[in-house]
A = this chain, B = another copy of it.
Amino acid sequence: MIGGGQGAFIGGVHRMAARLDGLYDLVAGALSSTPEKSIASGRELGLADDRCYPTWQAMLEGELARPEGERIQAVSIVTPNHAHFEPALAFVDAGFAVILDKPMVHTTEQAEALARKVRDRDAIFAVTYNYSGYPLVRQAREMVRSGEIGEVRKVVVEYNQGWLATKLEESGQKQADWRTDPSRSGVGGCIGDIGSHCEQLVASITGLEIDKICADLTTFVPGRELDDDANLLLRFKGGARGLLFCSQICVGGENDLRIRVWGTKGGLAWHQEEPNRLLVHRLDQPDQVYRRGNGYLGEAAAAGTRLPSGHPEAFIEAFANVYKAVAEAIYAGAGADSPKRFGFPGVEDGARGVQFIHRTVESSRSEQKWTAL
Contacts and interface: CB of A to CB of B under 8 A. Distances in A.
Interface of A: 9, 12-13, 15-16, 19-22, 26, 45-46, 149, 153-154, 156, 158, 161-163, 165-166, 214, 216, 218, 220, 229, 231, 233, 235, 241-243, 245, 247, 249-256, 260, 262-267, 272-276, 280-291, 293-296, 306-317, 366-370
Contacts of A13: 306-307, 311
B265 A251 contact: yes
Copies in the complex: 4
Contact of A283 (B149, B214, B251, B367): B251
Contacts of A311: 13, 254-255, 314-315
Given A286-B294, A290-B286, A262 B281 contact: no
A243 B241 CA distance: 14
Contact of A216 (B22, B235, B289, B291): B235
Contacts of A252: 262, 266-267, 281-282, 287
Nearest to A9: B308
| Most B CB within 10 A of own CB, among A306, A309, A312 | A312
Contacts of A163: 308
B214 A241 contact: no
Given A218-B241, A252-B281, A253-B267, 12 more contacts: A16-B306, A163-B308, A216-B233, A251-B267, A251-B282, A252-B282, A272-B312, A273-B310, A274-B312, A284-B294, A286-B289, A287-B289
A126 to B, nearest CB: 19
Enumerate the 10 nearest inter-chain pairs by beta-carbon distance, A residue then B residue, closest first. Answer: A252-B281, A254-B310, A255-B310, A312-B314, A314-B314, A286-B288, A287-B289, A254-B309, A311-B315, A251-B267
A369 B216 CA distance: 10
Given A216-B214, A235-B216, A368-B368, A316 B306 contact: yes
A161 B310 contact: yes
A178 B359 CA distance: 41
A105 to B, nearest CB: 24
A142 to B, nearest CB: 15
Contacts of A293: 254
A231 B220 contact: no
B307 A284 contact: no
A283 to B, nearest CB: 6
A303 to B, nearest CB: 15
B161 A256 contact: no
| Most B CB within 10 A of own CB, among A243, A249, A252 | A252
A366 to B, nearest CB: 7
A109 to B, nearest CB: 28
Contacts of A370: 367
A271 to B, nearest CB: 10
